[in-house]
């Protein structure tokens, strides 16, 4: 894999991850762009001991443009995009409308707040606007994985970053604003609530590793597996269709995976995504994200895993977060996890 880094017209970083070593990446971004926006704010919610990001500039971000105006497609004559090249394999660049950044911001004097220092990046999986992650070959999944590993290493080294989160949103039902196959990477300046809860539950022992061993032994909620990875529906799944994909060897983060584990991930992940799409014969909306250990703590009890879930609970029904889920954080699932695992196995 060849890695080439350059600067876009407004100074943001863009990195090509090419599968061919002879790829040439010398095209300069010719656009005239305004300077990047100021950083967002982090405001402290003392009632629940959590930080909330306020990013007002994101109100003006691009929203579901037509295909011929997609900012993630390659540039062409008369249409310059975020990617200067006329074709690419995988590209990562700094988000033009970031939730977190390293830029200055004026903070209100009457609240407990601090700059939302960090970084947000966009990961384009393919130059094909009409593709999806499920249609990628395993070799491309490996390239995406290597890009995520590269970014996890670099972003973890930035001052103030506490956790790196690589994720993908797909489907308007989820709330995507761009249809082009892409994901994102957030470098958080704090440990997010879900990770804090998992670390608190671990209490000095690798709870996820124990749960994985239990699921592999029981088998009833296992959807698919290979020599290095198992995909299973968690015993207390919150979402109608939710799958965790975990390496059998406990590692804290993506850079800790060995070559065999990296090679084995793609075929299994593609299998799970195609099962999701096969459930109802339509593309499933989903969120897919890597749970990695924080940068500075809990690494001895964390077990890297990918969580993928959909809000679709039937062919023509979605799960909406209503009163109990939204107001109190208490999820009520309409489908038994064992039934969801069975349906996903049958959809293969």
Determine contact, residues 184/167, Cβ cutoff 8 Å: yes
Verdict on whether the full-model pTM lies above 0.85: yes
**Domains, the chain, ranges and CATH?**
2-190 (3.30.428.10), 195-346 (3.30.428.10)
Is residue 127 within 8 Å of 258, Cβ to Cβ? Answer: no
User: What is the average per-residue pLDDT within 25-41?
Assistant: 92
Q: What is the pLDDT of residues 294-318, one digit of tens each?
A: 999 999 999 999 999 999 999 999 9
Distance of CA 119 to the CA centre of its chain: 14
What does the alpha-carbon distance between residue 172 and residue 169 come to, in Å, rounded to a whole number?
A: 9
CA distances from 1 to 23, 144, 204, 325 (A): 10, 11, 38, 43
Q: Is the pLDDT of residue 201 over 90?
A: yes
| Mean pLDDT across 7-13 | 97
Residue bearing the bigger pLDDT, 165 or 36: 165
CB 45 within 8 A of CB 52: yes
Query: Catalytic residue among 57, 179, 182, 320, which?
Result: 182
Residue-by-residue DSSP string for 109-123: TTS-EEE--SEEEEE
For residue 166, say whether it is annotated as part of any ligand binding site: no
Q: Is 73 annotated as a binding residue?
A: yes
- Residue 170: left (phi > 0), alpha (psi -120 to 50), or beta? beta
What DSSP designation does 344 have? H
The whole-number pLDDT of residue 199 equals 97
**Known catalytic residue at 244:** no
pLDDT at 109 over 90: no
Residue 331: pLDDT above 90?
yes
pLDDT in tens, 333-348: 999 999 999 999 999 8
Is residue 213's pLDDT more than 90? Answer: yes
Checking DSSP bridges between strand 286-291 and strand 113-115, what pairing results, if any?
A: unpaired
How many other C-beta atoms lie within 10 A of the C-beta of residue 168? 21
């Amino acid at each position: 894999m060849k890695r080439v880094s350059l600067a876009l017209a407004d100074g943001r970083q863009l990195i090509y991850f090419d599968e061919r070593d002879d790829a040439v990446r010398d095209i300069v971004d010719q656009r005239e762009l305004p300077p990047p926006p100021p950083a967002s704010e982090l405001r402290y919610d003392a009632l629940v001991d959590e930080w909330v990001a306020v990013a007002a500039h994101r109100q003006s971000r691009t929203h579901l443009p037509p295909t011929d105006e997609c900012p993630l497609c390659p540039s062409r004559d008369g249409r310059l995009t975020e990617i200067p090249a006329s074709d690419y394999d995988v590209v990562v660049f700094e988000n033009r409308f970031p939730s977190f950044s390293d830029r200055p911001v004026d903070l209100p004097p009457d609240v407990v707040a601090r700059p939302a220092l960090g970084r947000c990046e966009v990961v384009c999986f393919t130059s094909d606007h009409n593709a999806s992650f499920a249609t990628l070959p395993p070799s491309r999944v490996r390239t995406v994985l290597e890009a995520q590993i590269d970014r996890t290493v670099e972003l973890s080294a930035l001052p103030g970053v506490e956790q790196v989160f690589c994720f993908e949103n797909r489907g308007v039902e989820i709330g995507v604003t761009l249809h082009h196959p892409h994901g994102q990477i957030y470098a958080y300046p704090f440990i997010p609530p879900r990770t804090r809860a998992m670390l608190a539950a671990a209490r000095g022992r690798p709870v996820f590793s124990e749960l994985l061993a239990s699921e592999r032994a029981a088998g009833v909620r296992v959807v698919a597996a290979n020599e290095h990875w198992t995909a299973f529906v968690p015993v207390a799944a919150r979402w109608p269709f939710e799958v965790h994909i975990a390496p059998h060897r406990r590692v804290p983060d993506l850079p800790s995976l060995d070559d065999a584990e990296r090679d084995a991930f793609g075929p299994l992940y593609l299998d799970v995504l195609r099962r999701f799409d096969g459930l109802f014969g339509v593309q499933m909306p989903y969120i897919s994200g890597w749970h990695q250990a924080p940068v500075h703590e809990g690494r001895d009890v964390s077990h890297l895993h990918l969580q993928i879930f959909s809000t679709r609970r039937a062919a023509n029904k979605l799960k909406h977060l209503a009163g109990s889920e939204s107001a109190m954080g208490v999820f009520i699932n309409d489908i038994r996890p064992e039934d969801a695992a069975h349906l996903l196995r049958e959809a293969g």
